[in-house]
Amino acid sequence: MKVGIVGATGEVGRTMIKVLEESNLKVDGLRLFASKKSAGKKLKFKDKEYTIEEISENVMREKYDYLLFSAGGNVSRRYAPIAAEAGNVIIDNSSAFRMQENIPLVVPEINGEIIKNYKGIIANPNCSTIQMVLALSEIQKQIGIEEIFVSTYQAVSGAGNKGIQELLNQQNGINNTAHFPDIIMNNVIPQIGPILENGFTEEEMKMVNETRKIFNDDSISVYPTAVRVPVLYGHSESVVFRIKKDIPLETIKNLISATENVVYTEKLLTPLMVAGSNITYVSRLRKMGKNTFLIWIVADNVRVGAATNAVRILLKHLEMRD
């Protein structure tokens, strides 16, 4: 199988390589692409070194079984359509194509069936959206959700290597604020992405729009507040959700527990505990009044929220291919 990774030297790109290794998928033609400044560097996959190639239109016109993109929206907008025209399947981690009507936005455990025999660009959802919809997916499927109130506590790795380095620099006394709107060390910043005309940030509106598209239900009301916290890996979310009929707390627990790649636990959960895991963890289930429940969700944002979901899309597509 021939697989290409675009943005291979970035935080998510490197993790895509690790997750591919862990999947035991037989990849006998791996190609790694990045910008000109990274060309010539080497990365390992299954104990073999691969040389980073500069991305170009010509290499995107070649045939691949799958291309995984994680190099930002501008790179995706330029090169992914070229690869798609060549008949390739592209799994794109940027926000460039997520809300385009003709492009599937996929969390395989929820709506993987829509990509059966699909060719072209498949959009990988936003990190904070993925873990939330995964945790709620069986509840939505079996009961139906009317409203979701979510506050996120998002790790700096959600902003890539630059976000990680900014926090590490500040811990070492270099108080630069090149990537975040304020000092992130010993702080929380209630803004991720630019603030839009409606007062919500871009990150918050991703959670609104992507949730509705993945669940195929525009009637769901989503009320998000996205916050950056000084954590390296692992997004946490406090979620209140209101469902369409009243059911016991135990039923909600059973629905969450029955969800693929989701674990419910009564234990205390923190980002440190889940770093490096491909599982979405849910705890602190409570009921407050009729039809209304609260949960705490934690997942490794670089894996579950990006690289792992991309590889799961690949595996799901491969599994359903005629």
- Which active-site residues does the annotation give? 127, 235
- Distant-in-sequence, close-in-space partners of 72: CB < 8 Å, separation ≥ 6: 7, 94
Helix (H, G, I), strand (E, B) or coil at 244: coil
Q: What is the separation of C-alpha 248 from the centre of its chain, rounded to a whole number of angstroms?
A: 31
For residues 181 and 159, give the distance between their C-alpha atoms in angstroms, rounded to a whole number. Answer: 12
- Distant-in-sequence, close-in-space partners of 45: CB < 8 Å, separation ≥ 6: 17, 20, 21, 27, 30
Beta strands in 133-279 (DSSP E): 145-154, 221-228, 235-243, 262-264
For residues 259 and 254, give the distance between their C-alpha atoms in angstroms, rounded to a whole number. Answer: 9
Residue 155 corresponds to which tokens in the numbers above?
Answer: 């790790």
Residue given tokens 């954590």 in the structure block? 231
For residues 278 and 22, give the distance between their C-alpha atoms in angstroms, rounded to a whole number. Answer: 11
Which phi and psi angles does 297 have, rounded to 5°? Answer: -120, 135
Beta bridge partners, 265, equal: none
Beta bridge partners, 140, equal: none
Beta strands in 113-176 (DSSP E): 120-123, 145-154
| Cβ–Cβ under 8 Å, residues 254 and 282 | no
